[in-house]
């Protein structure tokens, strides 16, 4: 049977765009792609990219303070949110155009419309057009989840944070994950009074305990009011803002309430379950190691599969799918030892096992140092950097590395290469330091702090 396309991709985000491009440009496939919103997806349009630009924007007050310590006369500086927002929008327009150009150059046919599946080989898009296709790739990502509490509609999610008409003065951030913690720091840096409620004992659950403790101490020292073991029972509209009433009945008022309580796979209403595609409890599409669903012609990559919800992972999954199906190179995405960074202030970079995970697997030596970096110390900043290696006693291998401090994300990327290669502590030790840097501490950790 002749199909209209060899591959139809639903979703123009990181995973979908990579798969479409490789299948078309390198696999010679006829590829169609449907995107109902803007090309680029969560990462480019309402996630990583605008978030990181906001992180940069929010870091300047500290830089101005430092500049004064270094002898610069700094006049009073004020932040112009509408000006920043306009520049942000221009940048996102540029990036979206670049994504479109990339797809166009690869020969991918773009459809700016929502797509649903009619059967295992037929896609219908919102314009009413139908296309037959040999393969389908679902790469529709995720969407913010807000628990159903009374007044939930008064809260905003990360989606809205890039479009605020004005910067609020008092914000409540609910949640303790990546997004909540990053926005708490961004807003705080921009001069907003930030309160963060987290339902558990300590934010950033899942990260190395000592490292997250260090992040929390830094966030609190920068003025964020972090309230753990506290959750919102209901939200009420009040003049000029929102009142949040917690589980114990304590109420507080804010100009804005941001819910960052996780994301859910964006898999509803596409006709997947009806076709026999396996779906998990929170709507995630079930796939095997090749990203193939229970329906052989349908594959899925990225956040919609809820494996490891990070842009570079979605890209790898999309690329591996295209290599396997269209280039004849059987490739599985590798989900082991994936580094990541939380762009809080201070920043957290991490790869491999936490101390707690390593301990559960066998004896480990833990090397930790905390110190004031040269630049901050000169400016009389109290912030300390934390560097930590978790090392297997049995093999000497570095099982995990955790860094808290300026540019931790940049540093962990490089350390991750060594960790992925199986570097031992002895390999770190025989690497000569680059002086004076912060990261040199990673190769000068002589004595274990403790054995666990």
Site for ligand NDP in 212-241 (CB under 6 A): 231
183 binds ligand NDP (CB under 6 A): no
The question of whether 435 is a catalytic residue gets the answer yes
Query: From the candidates 135, 319, 402, 435, which is the catalytic residue?
Result: 435
Q: Return d(Cα 266, Cα 249) in angstroms, integer.
A: 34
CB of residue 371 vs ligand NDP: minimum separation in angstroms? 25
Parallel, antiparallel, or unpaired: how do β-strands 385-392 and 398-404 relate? Answer: antiparallel
In the bound state with ligand NDP, the residue whose beta carbon lies nearer, of 147 and 422, is: 147
Provide the token pair at 361: 């697997």
CB of residue 182 vs ligand NDP: minimum separation in angstroms? 6
349 binds ligand NDP (CB under 6 A): no
260 binds ligand NDP (CB under 6 A): yes
Q: What is the DSSP letter of 334?
A: -
Which residue stretch of 88-96, 199-207, 315-323, 422-430 sits at the interface with ligand NDP (rule: CB under 6 A)? Answer: 199-207
309 binds ligand NDP (CB under 6 A): yes
Tokens 């680029």 belong to: 40
Q: How many angstroms separate the first and last alpha carbons of the chain?
A: 62
Beta-bridge partners for 358 = none
Helix (H, G, I), strand (E, B) or coil at 365: strand
Among 5, 8, 178, 183, binds ligand NDP (CB under 6 A): 178
Among 8, 343, 367, 428, binds ligand NDP (CB under 6 A): 343
Beta-bridge partners for 241 = 238
Beta-bridge partners for 313 = none
- Answer whether 130's CB lies under 8 Å from 249's CB: no
180 binds ligand NDP (CB under 6 A): yes
Q: State the number of binding residues for ligand NDP (CB under 6 A).
A: 23
Residue 204: how many CB atoms within 10 A of its CB? 24
199 binds ligand NDP (CB under 6 A): yes
- Answer whether 167's CB lies under 8 Å from 81's CB: yes
Among 200, 223, 276, 396, binds ligand NDP (CB under 6 A): 200
Which residue stretch of 53-61, 119-127, 193-201, 357-365 sits at the interface with ligand NDP (rule: CB under 6 A)? Answer: 193-201
335 binds ligand NDP (CB under 6 A): no
Q: What is the DSSP letter of 424?
A: B
263 binds ligand NDP (CB under 6 A): yes
Q: Return d(Cα 164, Cα 44) in angstroms, integer.
A: 18
Among 190, 310, 399, 404, binds ligand NDP (CB under 6 A): 310
In the bound state with ligand NDP, the residue whose beta carbon lies nearer, of 178 and 321, is: 178
Contact partners, residue 114, CB within 8 Å, separation at least 6: 34, 36, 125, 126
Helix (H) or strand (E) holding 323, with range, is helix 311-326
175 binds ligand NDP (CB under 6 A): yes
Q: Return d(Cα 141, Cα 15) in angstroms, integer.
A: 9
In the bound state with ligand NDP, the residue whose beta carbon lies nearer, of 51 and 397, is: 51
318 binds ligand NDP (CB under 6 A): no
Among 163, 169, 205, 335, binds ligand NDP (CB under 6 A): 205
325 binds ligand NDP (CB under 6 A): no
Q: Return d(Cα 51, Cα 256) in angstroms, integer.
A: 18
151 binds ligand NDP (CB under 6 A): no
Contact partners, residue 104, CB within 8 Å, separation at least 6: 110
Provide the token pair at 376: 């901050």
In the bound state with ligand NDP, the residue whose beta carbon lies nearer, of 117 and 173, is: 173
342 binds ligand NDP (CB under 6 A): yes
C-beta nearest to ligand NDP: residue: 177
E-only strand ranges, 25-111: 31-34, 109-111
Residues binding ligand NDP (CB under 6 A)? 147, 175-180, 182, 198-200, 205, 231, 260-263, 309-310, 340-343
Q: Which residues are known to be catalytic? A: 435
């Amino acid at each position: 049977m002749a199909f209209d396309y060899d591959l139809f991709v639903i979703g123009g985000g990181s995973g979908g765009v990579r798969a479409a491009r490789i299948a078309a440009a390198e696999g010679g496939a006829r590829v169609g792609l449907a995107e109902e919103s803007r090309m680029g997806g969560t990462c480019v349009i309402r996630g990583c990219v605008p978030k990181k630009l906001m992180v940069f924007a929010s870091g300047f007050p500290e830089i101005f303070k430092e500049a004064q310590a270094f002898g610069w006369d700094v006049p009073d500086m004020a932040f112009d949110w509408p000006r920043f927002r306009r520049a942000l929008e221009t940048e996102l327009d540029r990036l979206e155009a670049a994504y479109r150009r990339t797809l166009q150059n690869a020969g991918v046919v773009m459809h700016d419309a929502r797509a649903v599946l009619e059967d295992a080989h037929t896609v219908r898009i919102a314009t009413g057009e139908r296309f037959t296709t040999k393969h389908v790739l679902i790469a529709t990502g995720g969407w913010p989840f807000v628990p159903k509490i009374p007044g939930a509609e008064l809260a905003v999610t990360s989606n809205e944070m890039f479009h605020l008409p004005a910067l609020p003065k008092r914000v409540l951030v609910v949640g303790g994950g990546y997004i909540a913690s990053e926005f708490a720091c961004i807003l705080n840096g921009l001069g907003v009074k930030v309160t963060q409620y987290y339902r558990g004992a300590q934010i950033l659950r899942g990260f190395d305990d000592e490292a997250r403790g260090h992040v929390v101490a830094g966030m609190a020292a920068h003025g964020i009011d972090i309230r753990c073991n506290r959750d919102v029972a209901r939200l009420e509209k009040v003049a000029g803002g929102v009142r949040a009433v917690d589980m114990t009945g304590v109420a507080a008022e804010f100009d804005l309430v941001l819910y960052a309580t996780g994301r859910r796979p964006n898999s509803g209403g596409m006709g997947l379950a009806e076709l026999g595609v396996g779906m998990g409890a929170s709507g995630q599409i079930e796939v095997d190691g090749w990203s193939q669903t229970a329906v052989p012609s349908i594959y899925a990559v990225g956040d919609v599969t809820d494996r490891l919800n990070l842009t570079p992972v979605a890209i790898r999954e999309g690329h591996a799918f295209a290599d396997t199906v269209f280039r004849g190179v059987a490739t599985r995405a590798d989900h082991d030892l994936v580094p990541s960074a939380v762009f809080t202030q201070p920043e957290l970079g991490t790869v491999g096992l936490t101390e707690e995970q390593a301990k559960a697997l066998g004896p480990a030596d833990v090397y930790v140092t905390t110190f004031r970096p040269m630049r901050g110390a000169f400016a009389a900043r109290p912030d300390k950097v934390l560097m930590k290696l978790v090392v297997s006693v049995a093999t000497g291998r570095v099982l995990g590395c955790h860094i808290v401090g300026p540019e931790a994300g940049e540093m962990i990327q490089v350390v991750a290469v060594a960790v992925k290669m199986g570097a031992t502590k002895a390999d770190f030790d025989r690497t000569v330091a680059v002086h004076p840097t912060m990261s040199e501490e990673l190769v000068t950790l002589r004595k274990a702090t403790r054995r666990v």
